[in-house]
Chains A and B, each alone.
Chain A
Amino acid sequence: MIKFLFKGLLRDKSRSRLPVIVVTIGVTLSVFMHAYIVGFMGDIIEINARFTHGHMKVMTRSYADNMQQLPNDLAMADVSSLLNDLNSQFPATTWSPRIQFAGLIDVPDINGETRSQGPATGLGMDLLSPLSTEKERLNLQKSLIRGRLPEKKNEVLLSEEFSRKLAIDPGEQLTLISSTMNGSMAIHNFIMSGTVAMGHEALDKGTIIADIEDVQYALDMENAAGEILGFFKSGFYDDETALMYAERFNSSDTLNNDEFIPVMRSLSQQGTMGTYVSMTKMWSLYISLVFIIAMSLVLWNAGLLGGLRRYGEFGIRLAMGEEKSHIYRTLIYESLIIGIAGSITGTALGLFFAWLMQKYGIDFSGIMQGSSMMIPSVIRARITSADFYIGFIPGLAATVIGTMLSGIGIYKRQTAKLFKELET
């Protein structure tokens, strides 16, 4: 009997191929859209992570308490040994020391007198080590507007907007006037090698980007750093893991009251980012749910129509002596086969398209030029574990439920009526 029904299912294209195609399309779209939404929302988090927050951030306890003020007098000392510890404790993470600072940029004329001046926020990061990934992380090469990236000591980048305001060109000298880690005045000369536009107003307004060793030298912070940013090697922020790492790192010193003890904060534990991470999770869920519900309705209807279309066939089978309950069960088995086949194929296709979108992304940098919003210029999908099963909700559950509902008609209709539908 099973063989007989299976043959019928395979041969009747409107019962097998068409529903499988419909389910496959629905599931593909659901999986892809979920990965796309998670990726897009996650990208906004990633941008914040790359520039300022990291996926995790290690600071001294006091620095963490006053993070908004960038208190370099509370920076960590002996950073190289701390980096070794972090690398051995958390090998799945890349650790990058950073110094955020503020100061005044002074551009001298040929006589050494001030030509122009402006306040700046600075970012010291590893730009010159051959193994450093910081340039790629901040997409500096693509953000370059004039000149070139720093290649040797004392070379810096300025934001394009800031350099125009200061009327400085690549190759010209500038002076940073700031304060050292110990509170004395710091004055250091740099050469501006190039200008960048990051596509974010806060960064483009007045930013200086320098190699961390130059900043350490300028601010008297030898082997010190305000922050060590941790980035998951997967390239994506994972809140649960970040929280777990932070808890593990901090657990060893819970009883230590030293204000210079290093502490780790996950991205979601830093200022308002926690709210944004929660919002991202919620909105990703809402948008995905809306899409999945819409697809479920489509596939539910397909299951419903598939069942209704076959009332004539049910009439024949009833006349032959098949029981209603048996017809109903076989109808559900068929929809299970269709749902499973469509869900597996659709999930595979959805994952494939999502993978393409994750690997290559869509580059919107052309139309993003001049934008002051901090949104990604390359939109990427992100495949998560949910993408492996989420398609089964519309693909399998909705198809089977639709079939079950249409099949109820077999019971509600009088046998003679079903039988009569043979003639129509």
Chain B
Amino acid sequence: MENSSIIKIENLVKKFPMGKGEFTALSGIGLTLSQGEFAGLIGPSGSGKTTLLNIIGSLDVPTSGLVKVLGQSISELNAKESARLRKENLGFIFQSYNLLAVHTVYENVEFPLLLLGLSSGERKKMVMDALEWVGLTDKIRSKPPQLSGGECQRVAVARAMVKKPSIVLADEPTANLDAANSHNILKTMEELNRELKTSFLFATHDEKVINYLHRKIFLLDGRIDKDEVVSN
């Protein structure tokens, strides 16, 4: 497991200034994630799930400790390097989809590929593949306001997956979806995990998501309370 680890965290501490003092969001976190895992950070609001996800996604930096993503230490990356890490290796899925409302489904999914500077032909093939994975090839010209919540989240999954990243970070991806749509999305993600060997790391407290996870990391007050692997 150590050889194929893509995320390695040692003694991570994250503090935020609060008034005259500080608030400790994460304290002494130690964690290793391997290639192809389908894992989740589980915990109530305020337990530090999103903060940990942001640090792994190089959107934030640790106060102390080591966080290595794909061999790169997050603390040591400059703005350009962390942008490159996100651009090339990380995919994000948000609770409220966060699609670009004025762009079509095709254009939303195409955006990460534009940042990679791929040719138009390559982009077209990859976008169509991604939309096929999520079953939205008939909606390429639609814009987000014309889609249902479930369809929007599937577009968000396609956008996160289109560049075939090593890791997808999903923050409460089913919070705005009903049960049926949640299961569809989770099934899709599980299939992609299996087929493409992409690692998924969720932040959630939703039972529907928790049931799909292969590894459950429970967070409580900024610490890892329990880390269990579910046997298939």
Which residues of A line the B interface, CB within 8 A? Answer: 1, 4, 7-8, 11-12, 312-313, 315-324, 414-416, 419, 422-423
Contacts and interface: CB of A to CB of B under 8 A. Distances in A.
Interface string B85-114: 111101010111010111100010011101
Contacts of B94: 422-423
Contacts of B90: 321
A309 to B, nearest CB: 13
A319 B96 contact: no
A417 to B, nearest CB: 9
Contacts of B208: none
B128 interface: no
A187 B221 CA distance: 114
Contacts, number: 71
16 contacts: A4-B103, A4-B107, A7-B103, A312-B98, A318-B83, A318-B86, A320-B86, A321-B83, A321-B86, A321-B88, A321-B112, A322-B115, A323-B83, A415-B59, A416-B59, A419-B59
Q: Which 4 residue pairs across A and B have the least CB separation, nearest first?
A: A321-B87, A416-B60, A321-B86, A11-B102
A12 B79 contact: no
A12 B87 contact: no
A320 B57 CA distance: 10
Contact of A4 (B57, B59, B111): B111
Contacts of B84: 321
Contacts of A11: 102-103
Contacts of A320: 86-87, 92, 111-112, 115, 159
A419 B96 CA distance: 12
B86 A7 contact: no
Given A320-B86, A419-B54, 12 more contacts: A7-B103, A7-B107, A11-B103, A12-B102, A313-B100, A315-B98, A316-B98, A319-B57, A321-B84, A322-B115, A419-B59, A423-B95
Interface of B: 54, 57, 59-60, 79-80, 82-88, 90, 92, 94-96, 98, 100-103, 107, 110-112, 114-115, 159
Nearest to B165: A321
B114 A1 contact: yes
B120 to A, nearest CB: 10
A323 B110 CA distance: 17
Contact of B103 (A8, A323, A419, A423): A8
Contacts of B86: 318-321
Contacts of A316: 98, 100
Nearest to A415: B59
A320 B160 CA distance: 8
A326 to B, nearest CB: 8
Given A8-B103, A12-B102, A319 B111 contact: no
Contacts of A7: 102-103, 107
Contacts of A323: 79-80, 83
Contact of A319 (B88, B92, B95, B107): B92
B158 to A, nearest CB: 13
Residue among B59, B82, B159 with most chain A CB within 10 A: B59
B96 A422 contact: yes
Contacts of B57: 319
Contacts of A12: 101-102
A324 B83 contact: yes
Nearest to A411: B79
Contact of B59 (A312, A313, A318): A318
Contacts of B103: 4, 7-8, 11
Contacts of A317: 111
B84 to A, nearest CB: 7
Contact of B100 (A1, A8, A318, A423): A8
A323 B79 CA distance: 7
Contacts of A312: 98
Nearest to B116: A321
A317 to B, nearest CB: 8
A318 B111 CA distance: 12
A330 to B, nearest CB: 12
Contacts of A419: 54, 59
A318 B98 CA distance: 12
Residue among B60, B80, B98, B110 with most chain A CB within 10 A: B98
